Amino acid sequence: MKFLVPFLCALLLATGALAESLPEAITTEQPAEAEQTAKPAPLPAPANDGELQLDFSQLEPDDPLATPIAVDPIDKPTPTPAPTPNYYYETYSSDRMGVSFSIPDTWLLNPNYDQSTTIQFVEPQSEMMDKGGYQTRITIERVDMGLTQTADDALARLQQTLTELESSFTTFTPNNTDRTSFGKDGSKGHYCYYRAEYNDGTKTYSMRGRIIVFAHERSLYQVRLTAPSNWYSYYEWVYRTLRSSFKFI
């Protein structure tokens, strides 16, 4: 017992010293914890440098089968337009042929035909677009048949005329024939385009043409345009004007 009492006293003194030192240790940790909680959290960096982010799952894909559409005039070349004829037209009437139509007033009537069956107008040399080439001409013919004529009769006459023309040129290539109508009364008939060449012994002329044969009562009428190949579309304006003005009198 003598030794137990001094031991207990020493133990109590050591415990008291430890208890006094604990608050001091806690005090040293508190400032560090307070400093960490006071420090502001860093802001998140903007995605993709601030650009708007799209939800690609909501976008419809391009159609791989879509057909591109040409946009005028960017996606295709613009052809150089041919000049439009600036003719002054006059009305020509023939009582013997029983017809009237519009024709350029400077074109010349060919006197070498029987005017009761054939009328031919020729472009003057001073107005030729193909200088030194073939002189454009329009020919109107009438054949009395004795019986009422139809579009089928006109087709037979057209085919016969194509055979005759083939023998008149050095080369002659007709296209397929097709149905059409002509003049203000819409006479029924057939037409054909053709290409031809003619050599007069010194030069070869290249030309294109259009011929139509149509029925009217007991007669068959033919209208034929022949022009230089390179200027055919130009002279076809004359043909169209004649066609729209053509009538029986």
Please check the confidence at residue 32 and state whether its pLDDT lies above 70.
Answer: no
Average pLDDT, rounded, for the chain:
78
pLDDT at 205 over 90: yes
d(CA 204, CA 197): 7
pLDDT number for residue 76: 47
Q: Which helix (H) or strand (E) holds 11?
A: helix 4-38
Q: 212 in a domain, yes or no? A: yes
Q: Is residue 232 part of a domain?
A: yes
Residues 173, 165: Cα–Cα separation, whole Å: 10
In whole angstroms, what is the distance from residue 169 CA to residue 198 CA? 5
Is position 239 within any domain?
A: yes
CATH of the domain at 191: 3.40.1000.10
The whole domain housing 169 covers 91-248
Q: Please give the tally of structural domains in the chain.
A: 1
Q: Look at residue 71 and tell me if it is in a domain.
A: no
In a domain, 45, yes or no: no
pTM reported for the whole predicted model = 0.67
Is 52 exposed, middle or buried (CB count within 10 Å of its CB: 0-12, 13-18, 19+)?
A: exposed
Q: What pLDDT, in 10s, does the model give residues 72-123?
A: 444 445 555 567 888 999 999 999 999 999 999 999 999 999 999 999 999 9
Distance (Å, whole) CA 225 – CA 139: 7
214 domain-assigned? yes
Residue 55 CA to chain centroid, in angstroms? 40
Q: What phi, psi does 48 have (nearest 5°)?
A: 55, 40
Is 225 among the domain residues? yes
Q: Tens digits of per-residue pLDDT, 215-243?
A: 999 999 999 999 999 999 999 999 999 99
Half-sphere exposure of 52 (CA within 13 A, CB side): 3
Quick check: bond before 44 cis, omega within 30? no
Residue 200 forms part of a structural domain: yes
